[in-house]
Amino acid sequence: MKTFLDPTITLQKVIGDQIYEALNGPVVEYIRQESVAESSDDRTKELQEYNNLMIEEKTFPDLFRICMQAKQAIGFEQDIDFYVTADSSINAASIATNKPDKQPHVIELNSGLVQLMSEKELLFVVGHEIGHLINGDAQLRKLRNFIYKEEDEVPDFITSRLNLYRLLSELSADRYGYIACGGDEEAAITTEYKLSSGIDISKMHVQLQALIEENKKHLDYFLKSDKFIGDTHPVHPIRVYCLHLYATCKTQKQLDKAMEKIEDRFYQLSEEDATFNFFYVAAGWLLGNTDGEITDIQYQQILNNVGRRCWFPKEFVQKVLDEHDLEQLYHHSIKLLVEHDEDNKVLMLDYLLSIAFIDGAFTENKLHFIYRYGHEVGLEDEEIAGCISELIPRHFSINVKV
């Protein structure tokens, strides 16, 4: 019997833990479960029964066998109801139940996908969707939606991490798909091509090795760019390459090492993001120390802002503190950000005000620091006061001492 490497992607788990901790997961998830779980699951079941056809042994014997085979190959023991949808698009979806001991999960296979895929390819797709259930990928999204009712309410720290988590979850789910189809690399990769193109590539008699070599050329483009790498799913070249790595690496250590250049691409900051982060640390630290040592809440505010643009803010902040002259870094980052975009002047001022007010003590020293910043970016006193007056409602906090 063929054995497989661990399908878990460490970076995905680390990012998931960051999100869960930031959302106070253990407590908030308990509240969410008690308040919405059963009604939400009932609604999911109703929608399936109204609109889709359930895959059962008597009605869809071959498709039922494929679904059960994928489930068994992965070793997933919780109940799943499988459905075929009347949708010609090439897609599938998993819907995690809130309480799997009471109601099954749901996996939908669109009719267009069922018609296009071979049996091995369907095993891959079903295994991929089961992988999402195993990883609990829906839980973080449900937790976010429970806390924040509107998209624009969600902090950037959470949004950026959920976006990365979603991309990594697809790569991990692909590994479960590979396991489900018995480690058939060709079936796994042709599935990826069919999903991305809607074309039955198997009819074109393309050789697997030719596909892999061609894919490497496209991969290089995305690894060298700091731009788009995927919205809901990683771009096709990254998915195919990562599947090939999982299929061909002999040890977990070899796989983790090979994945580093992909993970480095996810870590990569644009030049502007990196400069903003240098500014957040240097400006926050210098301003926070104008009245003595920086406070814990000011430090947390620095981390929150840095964390919008990099995945491990504590490590980044400590590295900057250890390796840079903060005064020089502060002035240099201001110069670069203003040269890049004049509008950055106000963004930086807004950040300075957040640091100045967050500890409830907006002192003259902090005000003088902010005015010096304003003069450095070419603002007159009247302009500085005007900007502060517009931004101050976002940050002002009263200071009660009696």
Q: Are residues 233 and 306 in the same domain?
A: no
Q: Are residues 195 and 315 in the same domain?
A: no
- Is the pLDDT reported for residue 402 higher than 80? no
pLDDT digits (tens, 9 = 90+) for 39-77: 676 777 777 887 889 999 999 999 999 999 999 999 999
Is position 1 within any domain? no
Is position 66 within any domain? yes
Q: Are residues 243 and 316 in the same domain?
A: no
The confidence score (pLDDT) of residue 197 equals: 85
Q: Are residues 241 and 288 in the same domain?
A: no
Q: What is the pTM of this model?
A: 0.85
- Is the pLDDT reported for residue 194 higher than 70? yes
Between 261-270, 331-340, 353-362, 386-395, the lowest mean confidence (pLDDT) is in 261-270
- Is the pLDDT reported for residue 38 higher than 60? no
The confidence score (pLDDT) of residue 227 equals: 65
Q: Is the distance from CB of 307 to CB of 157 less than 8 angstroms?
A: yes
Residue 226's pLDDT band (boundaries 50, 70, 90)? low
- Is the pLDDT reported for residue 238 higher than 60? yes
Residue 147's pLDDT band (boundaries 50, 70, 90)? very high
3-class state of residue 193 by DSSP: helix
Q: Are residues 161 and 291 in the same domain?
A: no
Cα–Cα distance measured from residue 402 to residue 397, given in angstroms and rounded to the nearest whole number: 15
Mean pLDDT, residues 261-265 taken together: 86
The confidence score (pLDDT) of residue 21 equals: 94
Q: Is the distance from CB of 239 to CB of 177 less than 8 angstroms?
A: no
The confidence score (pLDDT) of residue 221 equals: 84
Mean pLDDT, residues 18-45 taken together: 82
Is position 402 within any domain? no
Is position 386 within any domain? yes
- Final residue before a domain boundary, out of 267, 297, 312: 267
- Is the pLDDT reported for residue 138 higher than 80? yes
Residue 150: how many other CB atoms lie within 10 Å: 7
User: Which of residues 155 and 41 earns the better pLDDT score?
Assistant: 155
Is position 360 within any domain? yes
Is position 287 within any domain? yes
* Helices 119-135, 156-180: crossing angle, 10 deg rounding: 140
Number of helices (H) and strands (E) in the chain: give both, helices first: 18, 4
The confidence score (pLDDT) of residue 207 equals: 83
Q: Are residues 163 and 262 in the same domain?
A: yes
Distances (CA, A) of 100 to 20, 79, 97, 125, 176: 20, 7, 6, 21, 20
Q: Are residues 70 and 175 in the same domain?
A: yes
Q: Are residues 92 and 121 in the same domain?
A: yes
The confidence score (pLDDT) of residue 44 equals: 75
Give CA angle at 129 (61, 188), nearest 5°.
85
- Is the pLDDT reported for residue 329 higher than 90? yes
Cα–Cα distance measured from residue 366 to residue 46, given in angstroms and rounded to the nearest whole number: 58
Q: Are residues 275 and 248 in the same domain?
A: no
Which domain range does residue 308 map to? Answer: 271-395
The confidence score (pLDDT) of residue 397 equals: 66
Residue 161's pLDDT band (boundaries 50, 70, 90)? very high
- Is the pLDDT reported for residue 309 higher than 70? yes
User: Which of residues 161 and 38 earns the better pLDDT score?
Assistant: 161
Q: Is the distance from CB of 137 to CB of 95 less than 8 angstroms?
A: no
The confidence score (pLDDT) of residue 37 equals: 57
The position carrying tokens 């891959």 is 124
Between 121-125, 231-235, 241-245, 339-343, the lowest mean confidence (pLDDT) is in 231-235
Cα–Cα distance measured from residue 190 to residue 193, given in angstroms and rounded to the nearest whole number: 5
pLDDT digits (tens, 9 = 90+) for 350-397: 999 999 999 888 899 999 999 999 999 999 999 999 999 998 888 776
Q: What is the mean pLDDT of the chain?
A: 91
Q: For residue 342, give the CATH number of its domain.
A: 1.10.3680.10
Q: Are residues 22 and 142 in the same domain?
A: yes
The confidence score (pLDDT) of residue 168 equals: 94
Is position 5 within any domain? no
Is position 401 within any domain? no
Residue 401's pLDDT band (boundaries 50, 70, 90)? low
- Final residue before a domain boundary, out of 235, 267, 299: 267
Q: Are residues 134 and 91 in the same domain?
A: yes
Total structural domains within the chain: 2
- Final residue before a domain boundary, out of 267, 293, 314: 267
Q: Are residues 341 and 387 in the same domain?
A: yes
Between 33-37, 97-101, 176-180, 206-210, the lowest mean confidence (pLDDT) is in 33-37
